[in-house]
Chain A
Amino acid sequence: MRRYGNGRGVGPVALTVGAGEVVAVCGPNGSGKSTLLRCLATRTRPGEGSLRWWGESRPQRVRHRLGIAFELSAHVDEASARQNLGFFAATRAAAGHPVTAAALDTALARSELTAVADEPVGSYSFGMRRRLLLAEALLGEPDLLLLDEPTVGLDVGAAERLVEQLRRRVGRGAAVCLASNDTTFVERVADRVCFLLQGQVLRTAPLRDLLAEVQGHRELRLRCRGLPPLPALRAVPGVDQAALTTDGVVLTALRRDGLVADVLRALRDVDRELLDLQIRDPDLADVFLRLAGRPLDG
């Protein structure tokens, strides 16, 4: 358990991450995802309770087995990607995990940074810095990868390559714990999902079990002129959940004929003009909405 002076933080949390497993931690802003990752990464000490990595409780004994990408992609900006990467490779080598020059080149190539490898990192775009950060975390085959919002700043191709790399690492027995609300990415890589809300674990379960809970449902995201009429929308037959988002309302409802027509009629009945409507199959975000009664991204 780790709480800050303002009461925010995380805990109590009971979570294990096994070898060859990807655990995704999801939750709205301020739910404690990053704090949990920082505890696992040996950066923050739990105020109460204990943390063990492979049965070891002393951080200095396990740091050489961790690959970490925090949210901030801080580098020595005046140095190049090759130089930054080379330093991290050297620290891994000093800890008994040698990284060859060829492995450095491969890491740069996988991150699509070869062409700019000798340019100062300070001249890189946000996405390039994120790719370099992930390359550094993945260097030297760490046994546990801890990734905070790994897809932030990545384009579709880079996110796809990250999925492939994680699958390859997990196939070789590495454990991965990542904090992300990118449900598309999480659904592609995670074995288990831990939902956090206000520092508490809402639910931890295998991904397939969670998705099974929303099978046969649909998600409707709509914007209307004026305040969304939540009671009227909740009264539509089949609607499970209705919650406000930053720009409208999100509904999860049982998939049935006439659902959309009923929702539109409910809006019309209370004189709300529809501005936008998106319909899609539900995903992890809808599971969270059902569990928490509030959206994951709200």
Chain B
Amino acid sequence: MADRVEAARRRRASRAHALLPGRVPRWLWQLELLSQLARRRALAIRLAFPLALVVPLVTTGAPPFFAGMLLVVLVTLIGTVGTGVGVTRARASGWLDRLAVLPLPAWRVSGELFLAAFLVDAVQGSVIVAVVAVAHQPGPALLGSTWALVLAVLALANALGLALAALTDHPGEIMLYLAVLLAPLLFLSGLFTGVPAQGVGHVVAGLLPFSYLHQAFELTLGGNPATGDPGSFAVAAAITAAVAVAATAGLGPAILRRSR
């Protein structure tokens, strides 16, 4: 009887322990990542829901143009929603208030919030790429450049999430702002109607990474987009990642709402 009671106590105690109790984080991103990894059910859902969408999409012969479009929307939403909602929640709880008065530069706080969110999103994005790779077996150059572009677009989407969180204090409003911001960007990227062959639309689509990711997915899924090759995808990925990092650093003061 005493053994059973003790065993039950130990079970309760082990459940009560935080993740990696022996590891004391030195950096904000480590603490934030720990927090995300500790929410095991949410983590499992975050990894499972892309599979639920991607597996039927890439294995049932959906037209590559439309399948690619959905994959781009999925990647963008993964990056934007989690970060935007997470940061607005942190503000509502008072956590950002506490971070704002620490002796840390604002760019570092936003950068570390970004990094923690990006690492989890990168796993989600990689799951998507892995499913596509298994189903269609693209060449290494195309696969590598598509993967790099997925990660870069996720980084940009994380930065967009931070920007949205700077605009509102309410997690629920993130979806509203997201729709207003993303719908025109995706339209201009030619996701819904294809990239125009010339003119302003062509130039604008060339400036937006979503159009490259769409082409990359289309090509990977066996389609035949009008433009796009692994080299241009890799260049787009590098530029997009650089823009995402710069935007994240620049958003620090707005996210913390530091007075100066």
Contact = CB atoms under 8 A, between A and B. Distances in A.
Interface stretch (B101-109, B132-140, B143-151): B101-109
Interface stretch (A73-81, A205-213, A226-234, A254-262): A73-81
B199 interface: no
Contacts of B19: 78-79
A78 B17 contact: no
B31 A70 contact: no
B57 to A, nearest CB: 33
B111 to A, nearest CB: 14
Interface residues of A, number: 38
B177 interface: no
B97 A43 contact: yes
Contacts of A73: 94
Given A44-B259, A120-B16, A76 B32 contact: yes
Interface stretch (B33-41, B155-163, B206-214, B218-226): B33-41
A80 B98 contact: no
Interface stretch (A84-92, A151-159, A172-180, A275-283): A84-92
B93 A74 contact: yes
A119 B95 contact: no
Nearest to A77: B35
Nearest to B102: A91
B18 A119 contact: yes
B31 A76 contact: yes
A87 B99 CA distance: 11
Interface stretch (A18-26, A58-66, A190-198, A263-271): A58-66
A70 B98 contact: yes
B26 interface: yes
The 8 closest A-B pairs by CB, nearest first: A45-B259, A72-B94, A86-B24, A74-B94, A78-B38, A80-B18, A118-B21, A64-B103
Given A83-B18, A87-B30, A88-B102, 7 more contacts: A42-B101, A42-B259, A58-B260, A78-B19, A86-B24, A104-B24, A118-B21
22 contacts: A43-B259, A60-B105, A63-B101, A68-B98, A70-B94, A70-B98, A73-B94, A74-B98, A76-B31, A76-B35, A76-B95, A77-B35, A78-B35, A78-B36, A78-B38, A79-B31, A83-B18, A83-B24, A84-B31, A91-B102, A94-B103, A120-B38
Interface of A: 41-45, 58-60, 63-64, 66, 68, 70, 72-80, 82-84, 86-88, 90-92, 94-95, 104, 118-120, 123
